[in-house]
Amino acid sequence: MDTTKQAIEITGEPTMDPDVCRFTASVPLYSEGSVDCSNVDDAQGSPLLEALFAIDGIREVLVYGNSLTVARSTDEEWPILGKKIGAAIREQYATGQPLIAADLKKRLPSEVEIREKVTKLLETEINPYVSSHGGRIDVVDVKGTKVYVSLSGGCQGCASANQTLKMGVEEIVFGNIPEVTEIIDVTDHSSGRNPYYR
């Protein structure tokens, strides 16, 4: 009896976007950085992506390490859709074959391209709003699919800074640039103009 399928643990975590859910597996799914796939054609040659896009209602998949971020285009509830996603992961992993095509990574944007995209989004969509509160957000660095940002002005040390980042910035960036998997605040909030103002 093959116990490979039973050995894999997979957990789902909702995001701010109700149509996006992150799944984490107890085994590595892709070790060459990250891959973002938003259509069936790009999925060709990657067994895991092919299996996921064969599920009705899957419109985009981002694979990074042992995590899988899935966007849906259906009203099917995540617990039901998640079981199908979990079954696809286990089935493909059990084959012992590479889950993602070796050349798929070449289609992904580089760290420089991600930085340019996020910076443009900050300047056009986010900073105009943040500046009305006397603040500003800038990209400090990009490592892989993680974006490091710094908050300045009225945002530095503000008690609402974390909420602004989580409820506003992340939602906009993740919704527009799906290859970004994490936004990390590296601001020294203790030296802000109004540190932890309440």
Q: What tens digit of pLDDT does each residue of 127-164 get?
A: 888 888 788 889 999 987 789 998 887 666 565 666 66
Q: Kindly indicate whether the domain formed by 111-191 is annotated with CATH number 3.30.300.130.
A: yes
Query: To which CATH superfamily is domain 4-107 assigned?
Result: Scaffold protein Nfu/NifU, N-terminal domain (3.30.1370.70)
Enter the pTM of the model.
0.56
Res 192: pLDDT: 54
* pLDDT value of position 3: 42
User: What pLDDT is attached to residue 154?
Assistant: 63
Q: Is the pLDDT of residue 23 over 80?
A: yes
Q: How many other CB atoms are there within 10 angstroms of residue 3's CB atom?
A: 7
Predicted local confidence at residue 164, as pLDDT: 63
Q: Is 116 in a helix, a strand, or coil?
A: helix
The residue whose two tokens read 């908050």 is: 151
Confidence band of 196 (pLDDT split at 50, 70, 90): very low
* Alpha-carbon distance values, 130 to 54, 64, 125, 174 (Å): 41, 30, 9, 18
Domain parsing of the chain, residue ranges = 4-107, 111-191
Query: How confident is residue 181, by pLDDT bands cut at 50, 70 and 90?
Result: confident
Contact at 8 Å (CB) between 58 and 72?
A: yes
**Intrachain domains 4-107 and 111-191 with the same fold:** no
